[in-house]
Structure 1
């Protein structure tokens, strides 16, 4: 046994802790080989949720080895700190916000596609596959599985706190500040393929009578052929945009 440290988590990182450990310094034992990343993740906080670690008031990286009696403060992304500028732990933001969602977030994937985001999802994807896709295709991994986010290979990940798909969608867009990048009706909700304009004459035989009567602009998925038009899913889209506080 190397000793003990006091660890304090801030803001939403407390959601990963037991009720009795929130918003206070928690005494944690550690072994000589353990890093601050090991100590913090043992408490239940995935490294992908952490933006800054201070040890005795000084910023450190995940590989830092603590000493007996150290005071460790852990902060999430976008936390406002009244200290001089410091190097943050999160990797540089991905150039293009793309996602891979775990098997339990299929409805979230669908709603993010409605907003125009590139989201891969499969109902039978294994954890190893999700981690591989996230790393190799440079996609944010969206999950409610803390253990999955603790995998060393995953650098861009987001633990989704909300339970309802609508709330999950608003949470993801707000936390990653994506309100200015919405592009509705550019992605297929079914398969994630890009949409292209489709002349009415080419799709009219696939339309319901009222749709054919009242709409003239249509989109077609380049992958599965699904047809979309401005009125489809419009109320749902408007509700999400309003909750986000964005404009189209």
Structure 2
């Protein structure tokens, strides 16, 4: 006599930004999810389409559980994002401790965002040849937050800190990251090269006279040089643009 696998059903509800990953009919409502066997709640959540890096707390029938909880069927499961603001002190946090120093590694589709983050002073690794495996290794080795437009990178179980960028426009992407991670008071502009991410050092303009436009040499006194690619920076039109950008980010 043939035995057919038993299909079980659980009921999920995802909150706030996690709804961005769901089908339209699943958003901001409780929906049923069918499965076979006893998969982990983490595997079930990712099968639905939500990356585990976006999740901080899971409640099953009102009780906090970790990613390894084995599904039995009949559960009512509430899933909350990393930055959801409610009292979760007594619950099981699924993320490792927050990163004390904010550092990023971004995927190959986010080069303009990387440059903007560097202009604000954030240590941001980017290379248009990065493979997913390299990004994950950098994230783990150097404790960097992964910023990506590719949800597939979150299928790596080792990933602990990552964020999927919703917007396509680089300026909106920057605003999204700043607001989502509450970085408004962490800006250190004009300390890092937007080209290669190395720190900038003051340099005497007489030492770089032959590398400057004549009028710039005459009317500007303070210069910074990247210790990596040796690009020269001074307070020109880009300086005013960055100051305006910072004001908009802090107000907006």
Question: What TM-score do you get using the length of structure 2 for normalisation?
Answer: 0.92
Verify: 1:60 aligned to 2:65, yes or no: yes
Paired position in structure 1 for 2:51: 46
Question: In 2, are the aligned partners of 1:170 and 1:243 still within 8 Å (CA)?
Answer: no
Query: Where do residues 99-248 of structure 1 align in structure 2 (5 Å cutoff)?
Result: 99-245=104-250
Task: State the superposition RMSD in angstroms.
Answer: 1.6
Report the CA distance shift for 1:84/1:173 in structure 2 as closer, same or farther (over 3 A). closer
For structure 1, the residue ranges without an aligned partner over 5 or more in a row are none
Paired position in structure 1 for 2:3: none
Question: In 2, are the aligned partners of 1:141 and 1:156 still within 8 Å (CA)?
Answer: yes
Q: CA deviation at 1:34?
A: 1.1
Q: CA deviation at 1:152?
A: 0.5
Matches of 1:11 and 1:108 in 2, distance apart?
Answer: 24
SS at match of 1:66: coil
SS at match of 2:32: strand
Q: CA deviation at 1:243?
A: 2.7
Q: Which has the larger radius of gyration?
A: 2
Q: CA deviation at 1:30?
A: 2.0
Paired position in structure 2 for 1:36: 41
Paired position in structure 2 for 1:85: 90
Aligned length: 246
Q: CA deviation at 1:93?
A: 1.1
Matches of 1:174 and 1:56 in 2, distance apart?
Answer: 32
Question: In 1, are the aligned partners of 2:38 and 2:72 still within 8 Å (CA)?
Answer: no
* Higher mean displacement: 162-171 or 103-112: 162-171
Question: In 2, are the aligned partners of 1:2 and 1:67 still within 8 Å (CA)?
Answer: no
Question: In 2, are the aligned partners of 1:48 and 1:150 still within 8 Å (CA)?
Answer: no
Matches of 1:223 and 1:158 in 2, distance apart?
Answer: 28
SS at match of 1:68: coil
Report the CA distance shift for 1:105/1:84 in structure 2 as closer, same or farther (over 3 A). closer
Matches of 2:173 and 2:131 in 1, distance apart?
Answer: 22
Q: CA deviation at 1:31?
A: 2.8
Query: Where do residues 70-81 of structure 1 align in structure 2 (5 Å cutoff)?
Result: 70-81=75-86
For structure 2, the residue ranges without an aligned partner over 5 or more in a row are 1-5
Q: CA deviation at 1:18?
A: 1.3
Question: In 2, are the aligned partners of 1:8 and 1:72 still within 8 Å (CA)?
Answer: yes
Report the CA distance shift for 1:83/1:108 in structure 2 as closer, same or farther (over 3 A). closer
Matches of 1:33 and 1:232 in 2, distance apart?
Answer: 60
